[in-house]
Chains A and B, each alone.
Chain A
Amino acid sequence: MTRQEAAARRLLGRELGAEREQKVTNLWADALRRMARNRAAILGLVIIIALVLMAVFADQIAPYDYREGDSNDNYMVPTWLVRIMPGNMGAYAQVGNKFLFGADYLGRDLFSRVIYGTRVSLPVGFVGAMTALIIGLVYGCISGYYGGKIDDIMMRIVDIVYAFPTMLLIILLMAFFKTSFGGANVPGTAAYTFNQINHVVDRFLGLEGGGMLFIFMGIGITAWMGIARLARGQILSLKEKEFILASRMIGASDIRIITRHILPNIIGPILVAVTLSIPGYISTEVFLSFIGLGVDPPTPSWGAMISEGARAIRSYPNQVLLPALMLAITMFAFNFLGDGLRDALDPRMRGTS
Chain B
Amino acid sequence: MIPVLIFISLVTFALAHAVPGGPFDREKPLPAEIKANLNRYYGLDQPLWKQYTDWMGLTRNPSGEFAGVLQFKFGPSYSSRSRTVNDIFRAHLPVSAQLGFVALCIAVGMGVPLGIIAALKQNTFWDYFSMAIAIFGVSVPNIVLGPIFILVFALTLGWFPVAGWGTPAQMVMPAFALGLNSSALIARLTRASMLQVIREDYIRTARAKGLSERIVIIRHALKNAFIPVATILGPMFAALLTGTFVVEQIFAIPGMGKYFITSITNRDYPVVMGTTLLYAVFLVIANLVVDITYAYLDPRIHYE
Q: Bound pair: A and B?
A: yes
By a beta-carbon cutoff of 8 Å, the part of chain A in contact with chain B is 86-87, 159-160, 163-169, 171-173, 175-176, 179-180, 279, 283, 286-287, 290-293, 303, 306-307, 309-310, 313-314, 317, 320-321, 324, 327-328, 331-332, 335-336, 339, 349, 351-353
Interface centre among A167, A293, A309 (most CB of B within 10 A): A167
A272 shortest CB reach to chain B, Å:
14
Q: Are B250 and A310 in contact (CB under 8 A)?
A: yes
- Interface pairs A-B: 4 shortest CB-CB: A352-B192, A167-B242, A353-B188, A331-B139
B217 shortest CB reach to chain A, Å:
18
Q: Are A160 and B275 in contact (CB under 8 A)?
A: no
Q: Are A172 and B264 in contact (CB under 8 A)?
A: yes
Q: Are B246 and A163 in contact (CB under 8 A)?
A: no
Q: Are B155 and A335 in contact (CB under 8 A)?
A: no
Q: Are B155 and A327 in contact (CB under 8 A)?
A: no
Q: Are B242 and A352 in contact (CB under 8 A)?
A: no
A199 shortest CB reach to chain B, Å:
19
**Interface: B102 (CB within 8 A):** no
Q: How many chain B residues touch A (Cβ–Cβ < 8 Å)?
A: 55
A164 to B277, CA, bound (A): 9
Choose one: A169, A179, A307; the contact of B19 (CB below 8 Å).
A179
Q: Are B147 and A320 in contact (CB under 8 A)?
A: yes
**Interface: B8 (CB within 8 A):** yes
Choose one: A165, A291, A313, A336; the contact of B151 (CB below 8 Å).
A313
Q: Chain B contacts of A309 at CB under 8 A?
A: 147
Given A172-B16, A172-B272, A291-B249, decide whether A351 and B143 contact each other with a Cβ distance below 8 A. no
Given A163-B284, A291-B249, A351-B192, decide whether A168 and B275 contact each other with a Cβ distance below 8 A. yes
Q: Are A165 and B276 in contact (CB under 8 A)?
A: yes
Q: Are B151 and A160 in contact (CB under 8 A)?
A: no
A328 to B144, CA, bound (A): 7
Q: Are A290 and B143 in contact (CB under 8 A)?
A: yes
Q: Are A175 and B264 in contact (CB under 8 A)?
A: yes
17 A-B pairs whose Cβ atoms sit less than 8 Å apart in the complex:
A160-B7, A163-B280, A165-B241, A172-B15, A287-B245, A287-B246, A310-B146, A310-B249, A313-B147, A313-B150, A317-B155, A324-B144, A328-B139, A331-B140, A349-B192, A352-B192, A353-B192
B184 shortest CB reach to chain A, Å:
9
Residues 24-60 (chain B) with a chain A CB within 8 angstroms: none
**Interface: B195 (CB within 8 A):** yes
Q: Are A327 and B143 in contact (CB under 8 A)?
A: yes
**Interface: B138 (CB within 8 A):** yes
**Interface: B18 (CB within 8 A):** yes
A335 to B260, CA, bound (A): 31
**Interface: B95 (CB within 8 A):** no
Q: Chain A contacts of B144 at CB under 8 A?
A: 306, 324, 327-328
**Interface: B135 (CB within 8 A):** yes
A167 to B275, CA, bound (A): 12
A159 to B5, CA, bound (A): 12
